[in-house]
Amino acid sequence: MLNLTSLTEQSLLPGTKGLALTAPLLQKDLGAQAWNILNADTSFPVAILKDSALQHNLLWMKAFCASRNIVLAPHGKTTMSPQLFDMQLRNGAWGMTLANVNQMRVAQRFGVKRVIIANQLISKSDIHSALALLAEDAEFTFYAICDSIAGVNMLADAVHEAGLQRPLPLLVELGFAGGRTGCRSRQQALELARHIHRSPYLQLAGVEGYEGLLVGKNREQDLMQVKSFLQDMTTVCQQADREQLFDLPEIVISAGGSAYFDLVGEEFASELKLSRPLLPILRSGCYVTHDHGFYHGLVEEMHGRVADLPAGGLRPALEVWSMVQSRPENDLAILTMGKRDASYDIDLPLPFATHRPGHASAPFALPAGCKIEKMNDQHAYLRLPKDSGLCQTLAVGDLIACGISHPCTTFDKWPLMLVVDDAYRVQSAINTIF
Nearest to 427 by CA among 85, 26, 7, 34: 34
Answer whether 98's CB lies under 8 Å from 80's CB: no
Q: Is the N-terminal amide bond of 45 cis, ω within 30° of 0? A: yes
Q: Are 143 and 117 in contact (CB under 8 A)?
A: yes
CA-CA distance, 146 to 173, in Å (whole number)? 6
- Give the whole-angstrom CA distance, residue 263 versus residue 202: 31
Strand partners, 381: 334, 374
Three-class DSSP category at 382: strand
The secondary structure of 310-331, three-state, reads CCCCCCCCEEEEEEEEEEEECC
Distance between CA atoms of 368 and 170, rounded to whole angstroms?
Answer: 50
**CA–CA distance, 316 with 410 (Å, rounded to integer):** 13
Q: What is the pLDDT of residue 256?
A: 87
Report all structural domains of the chain as residue ranges with CATH numbers, in order of start: 4-50+314-431 (2.40.37.20), 75-284 (3.20.20.10)
What's the predicted TM-score (pTM) here? 0.97
pLDDT along the chain (434 residues), means of 10: 97 98 98 98 98 98 96 98 98 98 98 97 98 96 98 98 96 96 98 98 98 90 96 97 97 93 91 93 97 94 93 97 98 98 96 95 95 98 96 98 96 98 98 98
DSSP assignment of 20-36 equals: --SS-EEGGGGGGG--B
pLDDT at residue number 363: 97
Q: How far apart are CA 141 and CA 268, in angstroms?
A: 23
